[in-house]
Chain A
Amino acid sequence: MSEIAPAPLPGFGVGRAMRRVVGRGFPWIAASILLLVLVCALGSPLIAPHAPDAISLRDAMQPPVWQEGGTTRFLLGTDNLGRDILSRIIAGARISVTIAAYAIVLSGFIGALLGMAAGYFGGIVDAVISRLIDIQMSVPALPLAMLFAAVLPPGEAMVVIVIVLTYWTWYARIVRGEVLSLRERDYIALAKVAGVSTPMIFLRHLTPNILNIMLVLATLQFGSVIVFEAGLSFLGLGIQPPQVSWGGMLADGRNFIEVAWWLITVPGIAIMAACLASNLLGDWLRDTFDPMRRQL
């Protein structure tokens, strides 16, 4: 019965457009969005039309340009202090990307290292690390974040630590499984017999084999981290003013929810776009590297 697959339906109109969006080709739109976010992050002072913290009460609460009363000086409008939303979005990208970069590299490194150790050595090492993963996963991520937010001073470092503590299990679990199957391969056994040192085996033989899956995880984690950080900053537990973050902008905008819809709409769209792009690209990478691993 596996033979039986429907004939391709003739594509037209909305259906075809949707299929293109959700289809399997390289996600150009997603990649472009991510590139844009990166460019904003790296060159924010150069790109931003205004200084993100330049206060100008005369220009306060300008709506976006397409709205009645908007001006081309402030394409996405201004907030209650007359700060340019577009410039703040660009500046916020910098923080988001910086946090995400640190968090991804650290949680990836720690998770991969522990996962590799658990999978490679097995026995007591595996037992301890696996138990650690179990414990970590038995507490939902957000309460844990609250706990560390309560004991650590707020700021970027705290956000990174909380994210790393939450996400290292992602990598550890999957890398462990991967290494468990790699360990049985002949060339690993040969390397061991030939007297290659353990760090060398990790570096030369295990690492190259888990790079693909790490890349997929990191891409998917990017979007997740952006949302996580936004949530913390929105609560006021993450990035602290005067630093600009998308979550913090949402918190500021919340006070003017009845008069200025753009203050909460625009930063949210930035978060959504970055997250969407990272999900799409991550899905595509996963399908491309390993179509069998759809459950990831």
Chain B
Amino acid sequence: MRRYILHRLWQGAVAVVGALLIVFVAQRLSGDPVALLLPMDATEADFEAMRSALGLDRPLPVQFVVFLRDALLGDFGHSYLWNMPAMDLVLERLPATLELALAGLVFALALAVPLGVLSAVHRGGWIDNAAKLFAMLGQAMPGFWVGLLLIVFVAVQLQWLPAYGRGTVGHLVLPAIALGWYPVAAMTRTLRSAMLDIMQSDYVRMERAIGLPERAIVWRFALRNAAVPLVTLIGVYFANMLGGAFVIEVVFAWPGVGRAVVEAVFARDFPVVQAGVILAAVIFVVVNLIVDLTYGLIDPRIRHE
């Protein structure tokens, strides 16, 4: 297990460096990177200073190494719009994004776990068919559109919940549904097929044969076995919710990382975009690492490997 974790850490480091490479390439692709990194009203002297600071006269690999070094030291440039380090600006928004992503995950699981389990237990029954239909439709509905519909019908017409901004728990409900919408289908399907296999297994038969109540067999003994494939999906989608809730955050005017990045794109505030992308990559790696550790918690066979 320890060697496995070390291996995954190494892979994660490679992935982060890869992401930095992509950011670097994007920066250079755009023509003059200095134009990206400086505000539009910068003077020629600013340009000169930035050029020599970035070492743009040096060969590209050297420039990348310098870029990497700065990144490792936590220097991702300065947001000229907000006059603060770009990464600080993004990190400041992270709690809001984290809150929303967690709520989205809770919504997705609250729907997917019962649906997946029940459609496996009552295979071919009405729940199974309804879940299939729901998954099919749900996957075709973009989350941000679901968000817009929720605003129109739940917030505006029924006036049940606030539509915009962050604050109370009520503010969290609609964006969480919109964000958690997309993963429901995949999670339900994965859980269903895992549970179908497990409910046919010898150990479930044994558990029935010694008289355990069916409810305990399904929700305790079988479900923990089905959790491993589910956790994989949770990791993928949670990382995406954290790193890519751009449209949903804009729709609900949620003050998170995603909205900050979108605003930065419009303002040509490239350091902030760059910081947001790198943060997303780091989150992706960290979440996947946590997922790997969770496997060990759930499945002793992995823990003892």
Q: Which residues of A contact B (CB under 8 A)?
A: 1, 6, 9, 14-15, 18-19, 21-22, 131, 134-136, 138-144, 146-152, 223, 227, 230-231, 234-237, 250, 253-254, 257-258, 261, 264-265, 268, 271-273, 275-276, 279-280
Contact A276 B148, CB 8 Å, known A146-B246, A146-B262 = no
Closest 8 CB pairs of A and B: A135-B18, A138-B15, A142-B244, A276-B140, A151-B30, A143-B280, A268-B145, A275-B140
Closest residue of chain A to B22, judged by CB?
A139
Q: Of the candidates B19, B29, B30, B251, which one forms a contact with A135 in the assembled complex, judged by CB atoms under 8 Å apart?
A: B19
Say yes or no: B247 contacts A235, CB within 8 Å.
yes
Closest residue of chain B to A2, judged by CB?
B200
Q: How far is the CB of B185 from chain A (nearest CB, A)?
A: 10
Contact A146 B247, CB 8 Å, known A138-B281, A139-B280, A250-B145 = no
Closest residue of chain B to A148, judged by CB?
B26
Closest residue of chain B to A275, judged by CB?
B140
- Across the interface, which residues of B come within 8 angstroms of A275, CB to CB? 139-142
Contact A150 B268, CB 8 Å, known A18-B133, A138-B18 = yes
Does B184 reach chain A (CB closer than 8 Å)? no
Closest residue of chain A to B240, judged by CB?
A140
Q: How far is the CB of A101 from chain B (nearest CB, A)?
A: 20
Counted as pairs of residues, one from A and one from B, with CB atoms less than 8 Å apart, the total is 158
- Across the interface, which residues of A come within 8 angstroms of B157, CB to CB? 261
Interface size in chain B (residues, C-beta < 8 A):
58
Q: Of the candidates B30, B144, B200, which one forms a contact with A1 in the assembled complex, judged by CB atoms under 8 Å apart?
A: B200
Q: Which residues of B contact A (CB under 8 A)?
A: 14-16, 18-19, 21-23, 26-27, 29-30, 36, 124, 126, 129-130, 132-133, 136-137, 139-142, 144-145, 148-149, 151-153, 156-157, 200, 239-240, 243-244, 246-247, 250-251, 261-262, 264-266, 268, 270, 273-274, 276-277, 280-281, 284-285
6 chain-A/chain-B pairs, Cβ below 8 angstroms: A21-B136, A139-B18, A141-B244, A151-B36, A231-B142, A268-B141
Q: How far is the CB of A30 from chain B (nearest CB, A)?
A: 10
Q: Of the candidates A140, A257, A279, which one forms a contact with B139 in the assembled complex, judged by CB atoms under 8 Å apart?
A: A279
- Across the interface, which residues of B come within 8 angstroms of A280, CB to CB? 136
Most buried by B among A146, A254, A272: A146
Q: Is the interface of B mostly helix, strand, loop or mixed?
A: helix
- Across the interface, which residues of B come within 8 angstroms of A152, CB to CB? 30
- Across the interface, which residues of A come within 8 angstroms of B274, CB to CB? 147
Contact A271 B280, CB 8 Å, known A134-B18, A138-B18, A141-B244 = no
Q: In the complex, A258→B156 CA distance in Å?
A: 6
